[in-house]
Chains A and B, each alone.
Chain A
Amino acid sequence: MAVKKFVVGYFEDEPELFAGVKKIRSAGYKIHDVYTPMPIHGLDKAMGLRDTSLHTAGFIYGITGTTTALSGIGWIFNADWPINFGGKSHFDLPAWIPITFELTVLFSAVGMVMTFCYLCNLAPFVRKHHFNLRSTDDQFTVVLELTAKSNEGEVQAFLASIGAKGINTQVAESGWWLGRYDKDKTPIGTSLA
């Protein structure tokens, strides 16, 4: 990921954040991201983020589980090794319901969590630049990306005018890298210009 320049500011509560995000978007600045201590319903819409398709992924994983269970048990009891359980049917669908259900849930849950971690780049040893450490505590941080066209002083002044606090400019890697949080090092390949 590229090293970029960002203007960072924070709001103290949700209503100010919503109003701020709205003003930033109508002024035409590019929001890099917003970092909040808790989920805020409606913020994604306010920022213009599209809906997540994680549900759909979960559904696909789920039916994969269903299919795996039914085809697996069906093959084992009918083709691979048909055991006679007191003359009962080899294709004993009602008796397979519990395992089919459990595998559906298992596949769906495991698949979704793994997809979630993959999409959000979450894993041990994954390290990211944190614009404001208090944004996991009580501050609602807004990060604007500086482009070739935008002027740093102007963006800072704009953030101040809409009520943001603690405004500063940071040069940062926008993606993630491997590292440890006890070692405060800049990622490899970063040139702080």
Chain B
Amino acid sequence: MASLRYESQVRPALVEGQKGYHEVTEDIVRPIEATPSRAWWIGFLISVGLLIFGIISVTHEVIFGVGQWNLNRTIGWGWDITNFVWWVGIGHAGTLISAILLLFRQGWRTGVNRAAEAMTIFAVMCAGQFPIWHMGRVWMAFFVMPYPNTRGPLWVNFNSPLLWDVFAISTYFTVSLLFWYSGLLPDLATVRDRAKLKWRKLFYGLTSFGWTGSAKHWQRHEALSLVLAGLSTPLVLSVHTIVSFDFATSVIPGWHTTIFPPYFVAGAIFSGFAMVQTLLLVTRKVLSLEEYITLEHIEVMNKVIVLTGSIVGVAYLTELFIAWYGQNPFENWAFMQNRVNIFSPYGWSYYLMMGCNVLSPQIFWFRKMRRNITVTFFMSVIVNIGMWFERFVIIVTSIYRDYLPSSWSTYYRPTIWEIGFYMGTFGLFFTCYFLFSKFFPVIAIAEIKHILKKSGAIYKEKMDGIEKVSVEEFASEHAHVHEHAPHAAH
């Protein structure tokens, strides 16, 4: 019943303007076929610069050892594991948008899923750097893989959360990549079939794998997407759960908490959506895609941000309450002295975290604020600063004063190489994103076409008449159509 596809007028249009299928293709492929702008070049070169800074920092660390970072006896996990958890968290929005929202049949995901998935993949790539280079003797990194070896065989410890993490992150990366790329195939074929230049024909011919758009292939593609979405949904939730196990299964006061898994997952979605906002607000402006990534999309994501931010807030208060109520003196100390006490060495970071993650997103209870682009952009950055400090608070304030006061750490400050490494992952992330936005369709073309006749502004307007007619009138008006030309589809 394709011609009668109807969506309530209560739902705002997801594609604005007078668009047909061809206009959708034109709009989304235009940035790929155009010469990159000056802004693109500037952004790209800054990213590459940061990446080079990162490579130098990591090289320095590999040559001279992990001692080049300011880690010490008590603070064994400093900036690097903070950054690792931060990037993994950011890498949660993409697959959440494309998988969970696909299962929930949320039409608005089509405008943002492609870029969000790309962001996920790049964020996980950045995250993976930290544990790998933290190994110090990085040429031994393959020891984390279980394989029959001549060292015993010495197997990895399958009961260890750190190994679960290896499996979780690598599975998550692989599955996200497959999901993203299988969705890209039809769109790359669209670019290929329009290509005039020789290199473009070659490049998109290779990357689109010979996609034709055959009905049988689409049928399999739909089945694949649905099952991958079904698999990715528990996968997304498992990844940050397992990352939280890195902490929660230990006996360190401040980490040894059963609330960690849901609290980490909510935080991951929170920071992931914030990063999606940061990127898409710029992308839609620079690539003139405001009609596809509409204020509606931005508002919906802001709702997710205020929800997950509040969940995170409840989790912060719960663990604080339990630290007091549980009457474990060590747990109590970790919270009351190392965090809540603003005069303690890292007390400031606890309040920064609370302010950025719990208080500031509450602004999104107001519709005006949710639909304000400047406020959204500002908030998306604030949220990610807050989420970085959440991980910093969890890691550093829990370990810098351990059971033995004589080994209490001196004030931990990162060295230039730690900062350089972190900056380098920004370089990696944005270099990848800039290349992606230049060479790949940043919006899922086929998926937009799929919802176009239901959620496109021009088609919704046409449905206006139907809204005014009663059900009986509508039925009697259309009944004869069915008698004479029954549709095969149902």
Q: Do A and B assemble together?
A: yes
> Chain A residues in contact with chain B, CB under 8 A?
13-15, 18-19, 21-22, 33-47, 49, 51-52, 54-55, 58, 62, 72-73, 76-77, 80-81, 83, 85, 88, 92, 95-96, 98-99, 101-103, 105-106, 108-110, 112-113, 116-117, 119-128, 130, 133-138, 176, 180-182
State whether the Cβ of B68 lies closer than 8 Å to any Cβ in chain A. Answer: no
Q: Do residues B214 and A122 form an inter-chain contact, with CB atoms below 8 A?
A: no
Query: Which of B195-203, B365-373, B396-404, B411-419 is the interface stretch?
Result: B195-203
- Interface hub of B25, B209, B218, B238 (most chain A Cβ within 10 A): B218
Q: Do residues B227 and A122 form an inter-chain contact, with CB atoms below 8 A?
A: no
Distance in Å: Cβ of A142 to nearest Cβ of chain B:
10
- If A15-B3, A101-B234, A136-B192 are given as contacts, then 9 extra A-B residue pairs at C-beta distance below 8 Å, sorted by A number, are A39-B222, A39-B450, A44-B215, A49-B219, A52-B219, A116-B224, A180-B205, A180-B206, A182-B199
Q: Do residues B223 and A52 form an inter-chain contact, with CB atoms below 8 A?
A: yes
Q: Do residues A181 and B167 form an inter-chain contact, with CB atoms below 8 A?
A: no
Interface residue from A18, A22, A85, A98 paired with B164 (Cβ < 8 Å): A98
Distance in Å: Cβ of A180 to nearest Cβ of chain B:
6
State whether the Cβ of B11 lies closer than 8 Å to any Cβ in chain A. Answer: no
- Interface hub of B185, B213, B232, B449 (most chain A Cβ within 10 A): B213
Q: Do residues A130 and B193 form an inter-chain contact, with CB atoms below 8 A?
A: yes
Q: Which residues of B contact A40 (CB under 8 A)?
A: 2, 215, 218
Distance in Å: Cβ of A119 to nearest Cβ of chain B:
6
Query: With the chains together, A47 CA to B245 CA distance in Å?
Result: 50
Query: Which of B82-90, B152-160, B340-348 is the interface stretch?
Result: B152-160
Distance in Å: Cβ of B350 to nearest Cβ of chain A:
30
Q: Which residues of A contact B485 (CB under 8 A)?
A: 19
Q: Do residues A54 and B168 form an inter-chain contact, with CB atoms below 8 A?
A: no
State whether the Cβ of B487 lies closer than 8 Å to any Cβ in chain A. Answer: yes
Interface residue from A45, A51, A98, A130 paired with B212 (Cβ < 8 Å): A130
Distance in Å: Cβ of A19 to nearest Cβ of chain B:
7
Query: Which of B174-182, B250-258, B386-394 is the interface stretch?
Result: B174-182
Q: Do residues A96 and B158 form an inter-chain contact, with CB atoms below 8 A?
A: yes
State whether the Cβ of B39 lies closer than 8 Å to any Cβ in chain A. Answer: no
24 A-B pairs in the complex with CB atoms less than 8 angstroms apart: A15-B2, A18-B487, A35-B215, A37-B190, A37-B445, A38-B450, A40-B215, A40-B218, A42-B488, A44-B215, A49-B216, A54-B220, A73-B158, A92-B159, A98-B167, A102-B238, A113-B228, A120-B214, A122-B211, A130-B193, A135-B213, A137-B193, A180-B202, A182-B199
Residue in chain A with minimal CB distance to B200: A182
- Interface hub of A99, A102, A176 (most chain B Cβ within 10 A): A102
Interface residue from A19, A33, A54 paired with B223 (Cβ < 8 Å): A54
Q: Do residues B2 and A99 form an inter-chain contact, with CB atoms below 8 A?
A: no
Q: Do residues B224 and A54 form an inter-chain contact, with CB atoms below 8 A?
A: yes
Instruction: Known contacts A96-B158, A106-B175, A138-B20; decide if A35 and B213 are in contact (CB<8 Å).
Output: yes
State whether the Cβ of B489 lies closer than 8 Å to any Cβ in chain A. Answer: yes
Q: Do residues A138 and B25 form an inter-chain contact, with CB atoms below 8 A?
A: yes
Residue in chain A with minimal CB distance to B163: A99
Q: Do residues B190 and A137 form an inter-chain contact, with CB atoms below 8 A?
A: yes
Interface residue from A35, A38, A106, A127 paired with B449 (Cβ < 8 Å): A38
Q: Do residues A113 and B224 form an inter-chain contact, with CB atoms below 8 A?
A: yes
Q: Which residues of A contact B231 (CB under 8 A)?
A: 58, 62, 105, 108-109
- Interface hub of A37, A54, A134 (most chain B Cβ within 10 A): A37
Interface residue from A36, A76, A98, A127 paired with B146 (Cβ < 8 Å): A76
Q: Do residues A113 and B190 form an inter-chain contact, with CB atoms below 8 A?
A: no
Query: With the chains together, A36 CA to B449 CA distance in Å?
Result: 11
